[in-house]
A and B are shown apart, each in its own frame.
Chain A
């Protein structure tokens, strides 16, 4: 292989590791790293290791587990291998990144070298990830289990990857030579049919489920053993190799079984190398799409396909030229959210609502026919729980997952800093832009919940007053919870912009990424616990006070009053916090924080 390409892979790997290690000198990386490490130690540490007695008898050491594991592997490999030939391939045969396209494609390198480079480059990802998971998971069941799991995963992933590259290159080559897709698929189906016929013809007869579950299971294991020794077993031998690796009970047995896997790997490598399909054009196009997708993911935009959209959906309302800037940001947030959510999802949700709500409403009222009432009750419970889950998700994670917020837009800090609004107002505007569309969705969900909430036959009657009160309480409180949640996101972005690294090449990951995730989660729990908990307690006092009057008719109204008090207190907290964050935004030096180059 070209030494320059080996150099590229080696130096990229070494430099990536080095930069990650070096930046740990900064507390903002070291603290989350320690936290991530502590988390992994807690989950996978020696104190969490299984009993050695149990570990010695791993499931794979038992014949009743080893054989199903081996043959289960055959099914998985068969499925993956055949699908890579039968299913339509969207991307190029081999994926290249934009810098690789820029520097390697015009370089005087034969196509074979590019393929070799890509195979070698893949090891950069496969090796650390399989080592990490192998050792972390495997060591729980014994010292050599970690080594076996690591090597097993590493070899199998390489087998699958090489096969996928080879099949895609071969398909591209066949296409170049005018072979239509149906011919290729026909050939693959013929091969599969032949294999199936050979297995059916040469396999021993399958046991009948006559003597109960355990006996049948034992008979199946016996049959699998006989199948392995039959001509059908030998015909399927290459497909059995991956499963046999994981079924090995000790290291010597594993190494012995790894020899034919290595042989198969060599054969696949030779095959891939000899493929001569023109992949450059498709790879160059795909590299651009990939770059956009990676950029979007780094900015926290989930579900962005990377494909360019030439047109946009209309804005939800017209923005008047004059008025408070908050309204402009709400307009922007609503517009972006509307363009972010796929239309198909909205149609699906609306249709589901139309179908489920009438039945759920029947359950909410209770019915005369007991069987129909049971179904209706169950469905209304399901609808209420579903709507509640979505509303809760929007409150806790909606600000992060959907639309735009200060965190995603921090990349535009240069523009944001030049806008004629104070920092506090900008933070407030962004918060409003995040919360307003989510609040509108939550209002619909809460009204649906209040209507569909099931009326239990034995429980107290849920009157219309309680349903209205519940809906109003939800409409008042959920947006406030969303605001606190969004405030945590904004705080993270403004206090620790280096953790988000908007628009930067190197995204957070590894231990630091895990640590940052934990800190973010802790921050959210703490903010919600204090910021929502205390006002909610104040609201509850109002309801309890009304309860002491022993006038049940007042309670729904008291609940609304309590919710109003809690919402007002949370709003006050949010406004104060926006002021503090605004000052932080104004004082922030984007160049020092690494946001501006």
Chain B
């Protein structure tokens, strides 16, 4: 569903992404992991068609993002970490507007269900200025799901959500994958990625450092303890000194 081949992206002299390739199949959740500045968001933005590629090729639902962006975007949903909303459109207006752009025939029936699902029903006529950050994030999620996308990109999807909303968002991600969507989740919350993702892609300094299921990643580090999780594996790869983070500064 999502196919990334030798993706390269440069900002002037700086190479942010250096030849990354991976694939996300329908029904699969890929966890994207890496330290700040590793190139995770750039990779997601390239897939979403926000940033032009410097090199490589991206296919979404068979459409080349560079050659047929409209076809690719029609199958895709993008949930940014910082929800950006139209300040003069209400919650319902947002869903109606996005529904129209993605030609969602049953938008009017889906809107109340999405409002209910994301606990926005009592805020249906509120403007973004009257919403908390968590509510804005919920609206952003609802907008992403209204057109039943076949591929979904989540960039830090749980930022600003309360525990109940986190649970619902996680359930929603799983449900989307179960319904056949290819899902990419970029997050610093490694336990979340471990819980949701079928496969994990670790990016370090713009390069693919590891890619596989949790079992495959563990197998690549046999020296780690039996109960080691993604956090241990990631720290081992990122720090390269046995996985020990630098000591905290003394009080």
Binding site for B on A (CB under 8 A): 292, 308-312, 315, 319-323, 325, 327-328, 331-332, 335-336, 339-340, 404, 409, 411-415, 417-422, 586-592, 596
Instruction: For the complex, give the distance between the alpha carbons of A308 and B88 in Å.
Output: 11
Residue B107 is within 8 A (CB to CB) of chain A in the complex: yes
- Give the residues in chain B near A311, CB-CB below 8 Å: 125-127, 130
A589 touches B52 (CB 8 A): yes
Which residues of B sit under 8 angstroms from A591, Cβ to Cβ?
A: 11, 42, 45, 51
B74 within 8 A of A: yes
Q: Bound state CA distance, A336 and B87, in angstroms?
A: 9
B89 near A310: Cβ-Cβ < 8 Å: no
Can you name the residue of chain B whose Cβ is closest to the Cβ of A304?
Answer: B87
Residues 105 to 146 of chain B near chain A (Cβ within 8 Å): 105-108, 125-127, 129-130
Residues from chain A with a CB closer than 8 A to the CB of B130 are: 308-311
Chain B residues contacting A320 (CB-CB under 8 Å) are: 100
With A311-B130, A411-B84, A591-B11 given, can you name 17 additional A-B contacts, CB distance below 8 Å?
Answer: A309-B129, A311-B127, A312-B93, A312-B125, A321-B99, A321-B104, A321-B106, A321-B107, A332-B97, A335-B89, A414-B84, A420-B74, A422-B69, A587-B52, A590-B50, A591-B42, A596-B51
Expressed in whole angstroms, the Cα–Cα distance for A479 and B129 within the complex equals: 32
Is the CB–CB distance between B101 and A325 below 8 Å?
A: yes
Residues of chain B contacted by A404 (CB below 8 angstroms): 86, 88
A310–B51 Cα distance when bound, in Å, is 35
Cα–Cα, bound, A280→B42 (Å): 41
CB distance from B98 to the nearest CB of A (A): 8
Q: Quick check: A586 and B69 within 8 Å, CB to CB?
A: yes
B105 partner, pick from A310, A321, A328, A418, beta carbons under 8 A: A321
Residues of A within 8 A of B222 (CB): none
A502 to B25, CA, bound (A): 37
Indicate if the CB atoms of B73 and A414 lie closer than 8 Å.
Answer: no
In the complex where A310-B130, A321-B106, A323-B100 touch, is A417 in contact with B50 (Cβ < 8 A)? yes
CB contacts (< 8 Å) of B80 on chain A: these are 414-415
B96 & A414 in contact (Cβ 8 Å cutoff): no
Q: Which of chain B's residues has its CB closest to A332's CB?
A: B97
7 A-B contacts, Cβ less than 8 Å apart?
A309-B127, A321-B104, A325-B100, A328-B101, A414-B84, A418-B50, A591-B11
Knowing A413-B50, A591-B51, the reply to whether A336 touches B89 (Cβ < 8 A) is: yes
Q: What 10 pairs across the A-B complex have the smallest Cβ distances?
A: A420-B74, A336-B88, A328-B100, A420-B73, A321-B107, A417-B50, A418-B78, A308-B129, A310-B130, A339-B88
Does B178 sit at the interface, judged by CB under 8 A? Answer: no
Quick check: B73 and A419 within 8 Å, CB to CB? Answer: yes
Q: With contacts A308-B130, A311-B125, A335-B89 known, is A415 near B101, CB below 8 A? A: no
In the complex, chain A residues whose CB is within 8 Å of the CB of B42: 591
Check if B205 is an interface residue, CB within 8 A of chain A.
no
A421 interface neighbour in B78, B101, B108, B127, Cβ under 8 Å: B101
